[in-house]
Amino acid sequence: MESIDNKTVAEIVTTNIKTADVFKRNGIDFCCGGHVSVQEICSKKGIDYSRLKEEILNVGKTRSITHDYNSWEIDFLTDYIVNTHHKYVIGAMPIIAEYAEKVAAVHGHHYSEIIEIKNLFQQICLELDSHMQKEEQLVFPIIKEIAKEKNDRITGFISSSRKIKDPIHMMETEHTHVGDLIKRIGELSNNFNPPNDACNTFRALYAGLEEFQNDLFQHIHLENNILFPKAIKFEQELH
């Protein structure tokens, strides 16, 4: 993105809709009140302009790194999932939910599908909150115990492993359901393509939902296709 000096909030968000989340996190109205310069709104709100500018310019800049997830130890992979995907979900859910509430209130009478999208995302938030707690408090600790027992078996120290198959089956069932919910949102939103007359909040909602879906599918892939099969296999090898 080119320099943002002297550009209005609305101009920046229109150029890159993903910057909307930066303004949202900093309490800056990018929709109805977006026709002021970033420097002006920072001065008014007492926000460090240089810090905000850096955040905006860094939006979308991700390092191109390909991880060989299948080669990672399962206890390391559980930590990665928590610190990357769970952390993302926790941060993204309230922002997207607020966008959905606002868009539904303003545009729901004309675009009725947004009401269902809002309700579906609320359900996703409730289910993922419970799901991630179960993973972090129950499933992942068992997987780490299995990893430890596998290592201890090698050195001659064996601890008692707990059964992992049933909790994993429960997690996979929940993955399927929440995956179906986000797919339904994709259908209702025309694959996350906002209407031509959509305001910036409307556009930010659909961009956020698409990013959320992409992260969720990667998250589920790591668990269903790598972490969980390995945990079951290792536990079977220990008995």
Q: What is the CA radius of gyration of the chain?
A: 22
Distance of alpha carbon 231 from alpha carbon 100, whole angstroms: 37
Q: Is pLDDT larger for residue 99 or for residue 160?
A: 99
pLDDT tens figures, 39-74 = 999 999 999 999 999 999 888 776 556 688 889 999
Nearest residue to 200 via CA among 7, 4, 33, 55:
33
Which amino acid, residue 70?
N
Contacts of 122 (CB under 8 A, 6+ apart): 97, 100
Query: Scanning the structure block, which residue is given the tokens 């952390």?
Result: 87
With cut-offs at 50, 70 and 90, classify the pLDDT of residue 6: confident
| Phi, psi of 119, rounded to the nearest 5 degrees | -65, -40
Asked if pLDDT for residue 3 goes beyond 80, the answer is no
Q: What is the pLDDT of residues 111-129, one digit of tens each?
A: 999 999 999 999 999 999 9
Confidence of residue 20 (pLDDT cuts 50, 70, 90): confident
